[in-house]
Amino acid sequence: MARKITRVIFRKDGLEQKYNLTEVTEELYETKLKGFLFCPNETCKARILFVSGDKVTYFRTWKSKVVDGQVVNEHISDCPYFVDHELGERSYRRKSPDIYYSISEDHMKNVLRNAFDRIRHPDKFKKKPPSEDEGKKRPSSRGRIDPTLQPSGHAGLVADGATVRGEKEPNVYRKTLDELNEFDYGSVQCICGEAEGLTKGIDYPYILLKTTSGKTGRILFSEAFAAKNRIQYDNLDFYGQYIEVVKVSGQNPLICCIGRITKDNQSEVAIVIEDHYALRIENKNYYQIVDELQ
Ligand SMILES: [Zn+2]
Cα(46) to ligand 1 centroid in Å equals 5
What is the distance in A from the centroid of ligand 1 to the CA of 95?
19
* CA–CA separation, 152 and 172 (whole Å): 12
Answer yes or no: are the C-beta atoms of 242 and 291 closer than 8 Å. no
Q: How far is CA 195 from CA 48, 53, 203, 207, 225, in A?
A: 43, 36, 20, 7, 20
Please give the distance, rounded to the nearest whole angstrom, from the Cα atom of residue 18 to the centre of ligand 1.
14
- 55 in helix, strand or coil? coil
CA of 8 to the centre of ligand 1 (A): 10
Query: Ligand 1 centroid vs 80 CA: distance in angstroms?
Result: 7
How many residues comprise the chain?
294
What is the per-residue DSSP string for 205-274?
Answer: -EEEEE-TTS-EEEEEE-HHHHHH-HHHHHTTHHHHHHHHHHHHTTSPPEEEEEEEEE--SSSSEEEEE-
Phi-psi map region of 126: left, alpha, beta (phi>0 left; psi -120 to 50 alpha): alpha
The alpha carbon of 73 and the centre of ligand 1 are apart by a number of angstroms equal to: 9
- Ligand 1 centre from 6 Cα, in Å? 12
Measured at the alpha carbon of residue 195, what is the angle toward residues 190 and 196, in degrees to the nearest 5?
A: 150
Could you tell me the pTM of the whole model? 0.60
Q: What are the distances in angstroms from CA 171 to CA 100, 104, 258, 267? A: 12, 12, 12, 27
Q: What is the pLDDT along the chain (294 residues), one digit of tens a residue?
A: 567 888 999 999 999 999 999 899 889 999 999 999 999 999 998 999 898 866 678 888 876 665 665 666 788 888 888 765 544 455 555 555 555 566 788 889 999 999 999 999 888 877 655 555 544 444 444 444 444 444 445 566 643 444 444 456 777 888 989 888 877 887 888 999 999 999 986 778 999 998 888 889 999 998 888 888 999 999 999 999 999 999 999 989 999 999 988 887 777 789 999 899 999 999 999 999 999 998
Residue 61 · residue 74 · CB < 8 Å:
yes
Ligand 1 center from residue 86 Cα (angstroms): 17
Superfamily (CATH) of domain 174-293: Nucleic acid-binding proteins (2.40.50.140)
Per-domain boundaries in the chain: 7-98, 174-293
Residues flanking ion ligand 1, Cβ below 5 Å: 39, 41, 44, 46, 75, 79, 81
